[in-house]
């Protein structure tokens, strides 16, 4: 039986058709994956199912009956729950309080909260679905993976039987992805229906029963997972053959001069704990140096130090021999260091500013867009239009705000801005996180273009496949140190995996 069905459901924004007569059918008890390029219209479709936005036309059927939701509350009452990419939790409250928000348990016939009963009820649901969560923890103290579990639990506590997850794995570490996979399989085993949007085709193959492919607002494919593979899915999504792993040109850059150097870099976090210890790295012109490692081993701190967001306690950073240690971010940029931050909304973009403003943010004092202290609006508009075209950024409204863009297209704005500034060195952290396969191929090729032009690239990524396909040399971080540096050509994912776990061939585990 189809538990969810849409009939020609359509959403228009002005003249732009974000969803064009979509017919989606989800069977009861299945895991349905929805895939498609960034901006294809996946989130729009899910927001209509969840009552967040109203369709322009078309019908939605739940359990065979037509429904019209005017808010998420209506959707939840019909058994449909959604977990967003950006969490909506109250940090100062506990896990339990967040789950109960709005439906607190009151003491019999009083307006007072029955705290004991609340905990018991929430704990019972956590136990039932075998979630690894401590309900008394404060949300501000828990990891991203745990926050996501709280969001899922909020829905389960409200007895939804259909769960929609919009790119749940984009923000997770590989280990957290594995835990989520186990949880979702458990939910399915207990009879829940799940709709999941993801760009990771490996996850689609591993998790789902069927896949619906959306392209430019239309359904372009419907397949049973067992009848397809990653290559076919990518092909349907993008409409052409996609190279899932780019081909790196052989360049002998071993004799090139060093353009960027870190010497004995150490730093402490706000609790006084040393989080980077004596980091020594060299990046040559035309070389990609990959930094691999399990997340949380100092990569984020390294990124902050090299982009001027955190100061060092020791050591030097030099660009072409010139010291730039502990400079302000703007000055580091000005000296010729391009930056792609790991959290695109926190550091890379201003969501409530226009695409145009974001295209020059950080470079607005540069000669071409600024004259005698005034921004040259027409020049900037031209630059924006050129970058939108060159970087194939899908925008409904070029005059609009960044907040209207899908994640991958927002990322492409950063890529366009930083690459266009002609850096001498590029720091790229998680450059393709949450980005669709076609865009990954594009961004990877752009990074390799920079390499060919002689730019030194420091690539920080938790995707081992990304590190392997782009890097010339790979440094592995473990507990704030560089535990080993290897040539890409001479290494394997097995060797890197061992280093990432702190195991070197000198024997034993490093402390």
Ligand X SMILES: Nc1ncnc2c1ncn2[C@@H]1O[C@H](COP(=O)(O)OP(=O)(O)O)[C@@H](O)[C@H]1O
Q: How far is the CB of 124 from Mg ion (least distance, A)?
A: 33
464 contact, one of Mg ion, ligand X, none, CB 5-8 Å limit per kind: none
Q: How far is the CB of 401 from ligand X (least distance, A)?
A: 9
Q: Which residue, 287 or 436, has its beta carbon nearer to ligand X?
A: 436
444 contact, one of ligand X, Mg ion, none, CB 5-8 Å limit per kind: none
Decide if residue 228 touches Mg ion (CB under 5 A): no
Residue labelled with tokens 């492919």: 213
328 contact, one of Mg ion, ligand X, none, CB 5-8 Å limit per kind: none
Q: How far is the CB of 127 from ligand X (least distance, A)?
A: 34
Q: Which residues bind ligand X (CB under 6 A)?
A: 13, 16, 18, 36, 38-44, 394-396, 404-406
36 contact, one of Mg ion, ligand X, none, CB 5-8 Å limit per kind: ligand X
Measured between alpha carbons, how far is 459 from 448 in angstroms, rounded to an integer? 11
405 contact, one of ligand X, Mg ion, none, CB 5-8 Å limit per kind: ligand X
Sheet containing 314-319: which strands, arranged edge to edge? 274-284, 258-268, 314-319, 322-323
Measured between alpha carbons, how far is 269 from 265 in angstroms, rounded to an integer? 14
Q: Which residue, 43 or 225, has its beta carbon nearer to Mg ion?
A: 43
Q: How far is the CB of 409 from ligand X (least distance, A)?
A: 7
Q: Which residue, 36 or 290, has its beta carbon nearer to ligand X?
A: 36
Nearest to residue 81, comparing CAs of 6, 184, 160, 190? 160
Q: Which residue, 43 or 488, has its beta carbon nearer to Mg ion?
A: 43
Q: Which residue, 161 or 406, has its beta carbon nearer to ligand X?
A: 406
Ramachandran angles phi, psi of 135, nearest 5°: -70, -15
Q: How far is the CB of 148 from ligand X (least distance, A)?
A: 18
**Is there a contact between 297 and 279 (Cβ–Cβ < 8 Å)?**
no
Q: Which residue, 13 or 327, has its beta carbon nearer to ligand X?
A: 13
| Residues in 329-358 that interact with Mg ion by CB under 5 A | none
Q: Which residue, 138 or 394, has its beta carbon nearer to ligand X?
A: 394
| Residues in 477-496 that interact with Mg ion by CB under 5 A | none
**Is there a contact between 43 and 52 (Cβ–Cβ < 8 Å)?**
no
CB atoms closer than 10 angstroms to residue 271? 6
38 contact, one of ligand X, Mg ion, none, CB 5-8 Å limit per kind: ligand X
**Is there a contact between 261 and 289 (Cβ–Cβ < 8 Å)?**
no
DSSP 209-272: SEEEEEETTEEEEEEEGGG--HHHHHHHHHSS---SSPPPPP---TTSPEEEEEEEEEEE-TTS
The single-letter DSSP state of residue 489 is: G
Q: Which residue, 312 or 406, has its beta carbon nearer to ligand X?
A: 406
| Residue nearest ligand X, CB atom distance | 406
CB atoms closer than 10 angstroms to residue 103? 10
Measured between alpha carbons, how far is 251 from 262 in angstroms, rounded to an integer? 24
Listed in sequence order, the residues at least 6 apart from 124 whose beta carbon sits closer than 8 Å to its beta carbon are: none
Partners of 415 in beta bridges: none
Q: Which residue, 351 or 510, has its beta carbon nearer to ligand X?
A: 351
Q: Which two tokens stand for residue 465?
A: 């496949």
Total residues interacting with Mg ion, rule: CB under 5 A? 2
The single-letter DSSP state of residue 153 is: H
Partners of 189 in beta bridges: none
Decide if residue 148 touches Mg ion (CB under 5 A): no
213 contact, one of ligand X, Mg ion, none, CB 5-8 Å limit per kind: none
Q: How far is the CB of 392 from ligand X (least distance, A)?
A: 13
Query: Strand, helix or coil at 434?
Result: coil
| Residue nearest Mg ion, CB atom distance | 43
Q: How far is the CB of 166 from ligand X (least distance, A)?
A: 7
Decide if residue 43 touches Mg ion (CB under 5 A): yes
Q: How far is the CB of 43 from Mg ion (least distance, A)?
A: 3
Length of the chain: 511
Measured between alpha carbons, how far is 201 from 85 in angstroms, rounded to an integer? 18
Q: How far is the CB of 44 from Mg ion (least distance, A)?
A: 8
The residue ranges that bind Mg ion (CB under 5 A) are: 43, 406
């Amino acid at each position: 039986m189809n538990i969810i069905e849409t009939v020609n459901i359509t959403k228009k924004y002005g003249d732009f058709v974000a969803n064009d007569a979509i017919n989606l059918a989800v069977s009861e008890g299945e895991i349905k994956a929805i895939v498609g390029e960034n901006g294809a219209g996946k989130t729009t479709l899910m927001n209509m199912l969840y009552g967040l936005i109203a369709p322009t036309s078309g019908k939605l059927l739940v359990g065979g009956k037509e429904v019209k939701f005017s808010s998420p509350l209506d959707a939840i009452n019909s058994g449909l729950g959604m977990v967003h990419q950006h969490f909506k939790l109250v940090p100062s409250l506990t896990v339990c309080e967040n789950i109960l928000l709005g439906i607190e348990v009151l003491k019999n016939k009083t307006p007072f909260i029955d705290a004991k009963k609340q905990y018991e009820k929430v704990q019972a649901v956590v136990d039932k679905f075998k979630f690894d969560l401590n309900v008394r923890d404060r949300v501000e103290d828990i990891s991203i993976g745990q926050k996501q579990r709280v969001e899922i639990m909020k829905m389960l506590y409200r007895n939804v039987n259909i769960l929609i997850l919009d790119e749940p794995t984009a923000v997770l570490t590989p280990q957290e992805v594995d835990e989520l996979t186990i949880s979702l399989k458990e939910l399915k085993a207990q009879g829940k229906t799940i709709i999941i949007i993801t760009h990771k085709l490996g996850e689609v193959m591993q998790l789902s029963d069927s896949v619906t492919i959306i392209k430019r607002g239309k359904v372009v494919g419907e397949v049973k997972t067992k009848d397809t593979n990653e290559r076919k899915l990518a092909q349907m999504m993008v409409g052409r053959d996609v190279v899932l792993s780019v081909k790196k040109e052989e360049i002998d850059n071993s004799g090139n001069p060093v353009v960027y150097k870190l010497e004995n870099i150490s730093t402490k976090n706000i609790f006084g704990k040393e989080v980077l210890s004596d980091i020594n790295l060299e990046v040559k012109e035309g070389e990609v140096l990959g930094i691999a490692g399990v997340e949380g081993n100092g990569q984020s701190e390294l990124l902050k130090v090299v982009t001027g967001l955190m100061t060092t306690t020791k050591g030097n950073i030099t660009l072409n021999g010139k010291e730039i240690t502990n400079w302000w971010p703007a000055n580091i940029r000005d000296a010729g260091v391009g930056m792609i931050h790991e959290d695109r909304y926190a550091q890379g973009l201003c969501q409530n500013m226009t695409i145009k403003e974001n295209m020059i943010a950080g470079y607005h004092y540069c000669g071409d867009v600024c004259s005698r202290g005034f921004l040259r609006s027409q020049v900037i508009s031209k630059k924006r239009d050129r970058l939108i075209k060159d970087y194939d950024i899908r925008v409904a409204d070029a005059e609009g705000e960044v907040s209207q863009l899908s994640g991958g297209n927002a990322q492409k704005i950063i890529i366009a801005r930083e690459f266009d500034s002609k850096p001498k060195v590029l720091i790229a952290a998680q450059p393709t996180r949450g980005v669709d396969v076609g865009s990954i191929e594009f961004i990877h090729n752009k990074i390799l273009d920079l390499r060919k032009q002689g730019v030194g690239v420091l690539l920080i990524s938790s995707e081992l496949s990304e590190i392997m396909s782009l890097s010339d040399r790979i440094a592995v971080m473990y507990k704030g140190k560089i535990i080993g540096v290897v040539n890409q050509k001479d290494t394997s994912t097995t060797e890197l995996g061992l280093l990432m776990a702190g195991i070197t061939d000198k024997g034993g585990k490093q402390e």
